[in-house]
Amino acid sequence: METCSSSSSSCSRAAKPEIFFSWLLLMIFLLLSPMAMESSSAINEKLKTTTDSLSSFSPDFLFGTSSSAYQFEGGYLAKERGQDIWDVYTHKQGNIIDGSNGDVANDQYHRYEEDADILASLGVNSHKLSILWARILPKGKHGKINWSGINYYKKVINSLLRRGIQPFVTVNHYDLPQELQDKYQGWLSPKLREEYAYFAEVCFKYLGDGVKHWITFNEPNMWAVLTYRTGLWPPNHCTQPFNCTKGGPSELFIVGHNLILAHAAAVNIYKNKYQKTQGGQIGISVLYYWYEPLRNTSADKVAVERALSFLSNWFLDPIIYGRYPKEMKDILGSDLPKFSRSDLKMLEGAGVDFIGINHYTTYYVQDCLSSHSHCGRNVAGNFKIDGFVEQTPFKNGTLIGEMTGLNYLLVYPRGMEKVIMYVKGRYPNIPLYVTENGYCDITNSNSSMKEMLNDTKRVKFLKDYLGSVESAIRKGADVRGYFIWSMLDNFEWGFGYTKHMGLYHVDRVTLKRTPKLSAKWYKKFITKKVNVTTKRLYHSQ
């Protein structure tokens, strides 16, 4: 697997999907061994899980699934839909591993009723989805609203409500109209804050009566990293040790700054104009990895906090406290953008009603600040933009957890509890939702249908991670919901359709949805726990 480093001459676009998330600088891993098949009796035992382990989940706890617009909808040629940056990017040869795109995706644009039926049969009481910006405002705030797009999302939301399923609606999930990318250079421009605020208000105004939970951005921290740090996603800007033709070390934090203030603008609009009449809540979903110190040294323990701040607190500290983390200010100094008085005033009025945690994996970290000699050459740990922290999945040659079908995501269930308790401690008295957590199958194009459906490792993953959530709740964390990524196998960005993270298999020819073992397990796990009162309330709207 080719990696981007400062010593390489370039990183071709064809190589980029193969080094997805290479900012973590994982080395070449061992080949995955085939998934062990279990006997039918063992599988039946897995499905016998009852609500005995659910004692710490409240009666109105939300058990859900997740999706996103570009990855699921398709409807590329739908009436008046504008071009998204992913349309342009995926249509260029070599950018996606399997040469695919989201033109059709899972065709949820035409199958939303079918998918709502699937969710109802699964027994979930909530579902996280997103709105494609280019489907609503193809040309931004200075163009016309696409009413067919508004009506489509109204139908999607109502299809969930009729079945007693609460929609968690993300305003922006990794997408942007190509028109705005070309006009403003994307999120490098503060003008995009105004564009986003207008888009968010259109969503609140015309869709808000059916939405009780809004998420401004899905993983804006990772969105900034992948687009302006590693250059793996459009518009493909990067900085050392990654090589591309565009970018610079200041861009990552300019983009982050604009995203933070765009979030604040949207929250102010919602709270001042819509929250009282619509009765909803608004928050943000941030990606959190957990980190363990590589060595039992004070330097590595401090590096854990630095890693958390440079990845995640980078966004939440300004949103909640009106300032960047001390760890970032100490290292970046004047390279970190400043908040103006008007910015700070806007942040004061932008307190979130909840925090969404997206959590998938855990790494070891070691300090590279006190001694660069401990860290490898040309790795992120040697650069202040990454906080002088090196991340690794190995300790003494042993992985921190079992690899999944995405070899940068390793299974470490305790990390979930630790992340939740960390966020609880840093941002007390704010309700939490686990808005994404999931497992990538160890399957490929040669796997049989039986192997794809018999996802025993996902079942174990879900049991262990839900157990970790429950443990955090027992320790006092106010966790109110858990959403699996993902409902269906889907377009996994640079990997196309080669990676499978769904509870349901999707045939790429017929688009037929087939439940995996994990879907059956999840249904058993939650069926007796979903609050009937809540379901009836939403059904009546």
Residues that are catalytic: 436
Q: Which residues pair with 505 in a beta bridge?
A: 514
Q: Tokens 């192997």 correspond to what residue?
A: 451
User: Please, is 540 exposed, middle or buried when counting C-beta atoms within 10 Å of its C-beta (0-12, 13-18, 19+)?
Assistant: exposed
Whether 237 contacts 224, CB under 8 Å: no
Whether 177 contacts 134, CB under 8 Å: yes
Q: What are phi and psi of 540, to 5 degrees?
A: -80, -10
Q: How many helices (H) and strands (E) does the chain have?
A: 20, 17
Closest C-alpha to 190, from 87, 244, 272, 259: 259
Helical packing angle, 517-527 and 456-474, nearest 10°? 30
Whether 475 contacts 58, CB under 8 Å: no
Non-local CB neighbours of 40 within 8 Å, separated by 6+ positions:
none
The enclosing H or E element of 159 equals: helix 147-161
Calpha distance 417→195 (Å, rounded): 37
Q: Alpha carbon of 388 to those of 125, 310, 391, 409: distances in Å? A: 43, 10, 10, 22
Token representation of residue 160? 């969930």
Edge-first strand order for the sheet with 362-367 is 290-293, 362-367, 389-392
Non-local CB neighbours of 334 within 8 Å, separated by 6+ positions:
none
Q: Tokens 């300790």 correspond to what residue?
A: 395
Pairing label, strands 354-358, 362-367: unpaired
